[in-house]
Amino acid sequence: MVCHAWPSRALCAACVHQFAQPVARCNTCALPVLAGMQQCGKCIVNAPPLDQTLASVAYAFPWSGLIQGFKFHEDTAMARTMATLMQSTPWVEPALEAADWVLAVPLSRERLQERGFNQSLLLAQALDRDKTRTGVLLRIRHTEAQSSLSRAERKQNLQGAFMLEPAQYAHIRGKRIVIVDDVMTTGTTLYAAARILREAGAAHITALVFSRTE
């Protein structure tokens, strides 16, 4: 699908080697940093509500096209391929092993009806089906697509968009949670979801994303 050399496979080893080399990233927001740095300056000054963020690739060629096909052209089989690449990213396997629950960033009912599936849930299930939980983190308000908004508008757009299923409050306390999403841009969506989990007493929250804009 990337180089078209493999009609039966989305990615070949050569494409992964060329386009998916690990880079040094901030531990908490996954932006690229200089080798040896643990956090970017912004996260040091204003720590996000995530203990760790892991991203596999940059949101750039060829990954941006694969994600577009996955989300908007119903190429749901891509979830397995993307999850395999995520699992090969440094520190992802230990994060999944340490997690009690894996949660997908939820879609609103309207967006789910429009798309027909939640791409983040497909990724979560491909990463660890046994630990994936649904109906825990809820999206209770339909919002504009984040991609069309400025940074300030994105934050406002997600005010009050998430909540926990009330019956799950007692079960969140002390849990190590992994939140899965396909793309991280400003982090607004993941931060909003993480704050809800943190307020309920989650002990540790890791975000796993396939791609990160840079």
Residue type, 174: G
Answer yes or no: is 43 within a domain: no
Domain tally for the chain? 1
Answer yes or no: is 174 within a domain: yes
Q: For the segment 4-53, what is each residue's pLDDT rounded down to a tens digit?
A: 665 556 677 777 878 888 899 999 999 999 999 999 999 999 999 999 99
Answer yes or no: is 41 within a domain: no
* Percent of the residues in the chain that have a pLDDT greater than 90, as a whole number: 71
Task: Please give the mean pLDDT across all residues of the chain.
Answer: 90
- DSSP alpha helix (H) spans, the chain: 13-19, 41-45, 63-72, 78-87, 92-98, 109-115, 119-128, 151-157, 169-172, 188-199
pLDDT at 6: 52
Provide the residue range defining the domain that includes 57: 48-212
Q: For the segment 131-174, what is each residue's pLDDT rounded down to a tens digit?
A: 999 999 999 887 756 555 566 666 566 777 899 999 999 999 99
CATH number at residue 91: 3.40.50
